[in-house]
């Protein structure tokens, strides 16, 4: 069964014509915001890890649109690293729709959390594990052209997937307007394939909320950079216009910032200085972050909270509950 879901998304209220796009009901929205005053007085957290009954996070949002045409008995094909939470979320949510998942993955630096994610993927998807991304992508292309599948690209970062993140930005704007949190000076989140960063920036721009969106890079520069984010923003604006015929606000220059000092040298490689902040977050808030994505971004978020004026909102994109699944 899919989770209950409010049908009246902020995205639909602004662009009603987008209701015609197929969408699976996977999430329970809006996700809550909390004041992490025990960690730092200027720190707030958007608990997007709790946006679904299980396997929540930013990918669950995107998959609502990316799996919108999937039916029971279908096959979903996707790609990602060995410990990709995108691959795991895709397999988990496709299964709730009665579909099977084929995942072409590649090897990379691993950590205990990534090992656990990889183990869960192996139990919920078929496919192969290649030595590198090039081989995995080639195998995915071959499988895609030989078989009838629903293809979900790397990270789900396509204009269709980004729409869900635009809604997330609009959702945050409504929570600010409702007084659930003060307007943050910045939102900090992991920057991987770029879809969430692009969508949040566009959603906030549409809402007219002047907030800096800070992507803490957790993937190589070739894939995680401002140019890719800007292209995703442009392509998503074009998609909205093509469906609705309505002009879409532009993301102001300088609204998106990328920080590079938490990457740690490789995707999936542990950042040693993230251990203490991660332990502090767990102890004070009971929130468990993973070493591949959220622990690195949280280092950046905590530094901003400590060193800069104004509230900092950490956008928690990873659902750590899967790490405790027996």
Beta 33-35 vs 43-46: how paired, if at all? antiparallel
Q: Answer for the pair 82, 110: CB distance below 8 angstroms, yes or no.
A: yes
Could you tell me the strand order of the sheet in which 100-106 lies? 126-130, 100-106, 75-81, 150-152
Q: pTM here?
A: 0.95
230 CB neighbour count, 10 Å cutoff: 16
CA 218 to chain centre: 12
pLDDT of residue 326: 57
Token pair belonging to 74? 């279908």
Q: What is the pLDDT of residue 311?
A: 98
Q: How far apart are CA 161 and CA 299, in angstroms?
A: 27
Per-residue pLDDT of the chain (326 residues; tens, 9 = 90+): 333 344 689 999 999 999 999 999 999 999 999 999 999 999 999 999 999 998 999 999 999 999 999 999 999 999 999 999 999 999 999 999 999 999 999 999 999 999 999 999 999 999 999 999 999 999 999 999 999 999 999 999 999 999 999 999 999 999 999 999 999 999 999 999 999 999 999 999 999 999 999 999 999 999 899 999 999 999 999 999 999 999 999 999 999 999 999 999 999 999 999 999 999 999 999 999 999 999 999 999 999 999 999 999 999 999 988 887 55
Residue 29 β-bridge partners: none
Give bridge partners of residue 83 from the DSSP assignment: none
User: What was the pLDDT predicted at 313?
Assistant: 99
Strand 212-217 to 43-46 pairing: unpaired
Rounded to an integer, what distance in angstroms lies between the CA atom of residue 202 and that of residue 82?
Answer: 30
Q: What is the pLDDT of residue 1?
A: 31
pLDDT of residue 325: 56
Evaluate the CA torsion angle 84, 86, 92, 97 in order and state its sign.
negative
Residues with Cβ within 8 Å of residue 171, at least 6 apart in sequence: 9, 10, 29, 30, 31, 203
79 Cβ contact list (under 8 Å, min separation 6): 87, 103, 104, 105, 136, 137, 140, 153, 154
Q: Pairing between strand 43-46 and 100-106?
A: unpaired
Q: Cα–Cα distance between 313 and 137 in angstroms, integer? A: 35
Domains, the chain, in order of start with CATH, read 10-56+157-324 (3.40.50.1100), 61-156 (3.40.50.1100)
């Amino acid at each position: 069964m899919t989770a209950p879901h409010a049908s009246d998304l902020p995205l639909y209220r602004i662009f009603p014509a987008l209701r015609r796009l197929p969408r699976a009901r996977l999430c329970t929205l809006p996700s809550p915001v909390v004041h992490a005053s025990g960690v730092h007085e200027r720190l707030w957290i958007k608990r997007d890890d709790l946006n679904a009954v299980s396997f929540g996070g930013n990918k669950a949002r995107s998959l609502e649109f990316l799996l919108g045409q999937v039916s029971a008995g279908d096959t979903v094909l996707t790609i990602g690293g060995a410990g990709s939470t995108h691959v795991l979320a895709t397999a988990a949510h496709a299964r709730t729709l009665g579909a099977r998942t084929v995942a072409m993955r590649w090897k990379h630096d691993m950590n205990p959390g990534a090992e656990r994610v990889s183990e869960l993927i192996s139990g919920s998807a078929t496919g192969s594990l290649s030595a590198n991304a090039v081989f995995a992508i080639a195998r995915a292309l071959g499988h895609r052209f030989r078989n009838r599948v629903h293809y979900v690209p790397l990270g789900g970062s396509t204009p269709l997937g980004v729409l869900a993140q635009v809604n997330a930005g609009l959702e945050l704007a409504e929570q600010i307007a409702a007084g659930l949190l003060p307007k943050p000076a910045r939102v900090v989140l992991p920057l991987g394939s770029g879809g969430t960063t692009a969508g949040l920036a566009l959603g906030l721009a549409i809402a007219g909320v002047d907030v800096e969106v800070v992507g803490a890079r957790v993937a190589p520069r070739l894939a995680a950079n401002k140019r890719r984010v800007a292209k995703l923003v442009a392509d998503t604006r074009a998609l909205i216009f093509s469906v609705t015929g309505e002009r879409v606000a532009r993301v102001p220059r300088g609204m998106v910032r990328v920080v590079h000092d938490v990457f740690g040298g490789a995707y999936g490689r542990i950042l040693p200085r993230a251990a203490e902040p991660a332990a502090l977050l767990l102890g004070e808030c009971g929130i468990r972050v993973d070493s591949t994505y959220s622990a690195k971004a949280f280092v950046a978020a905590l530094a901003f909270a400590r060193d800069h004026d104004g509230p900092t909102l950490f956008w928690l994109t990873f659902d750590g509950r899967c790490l405790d699944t027996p």
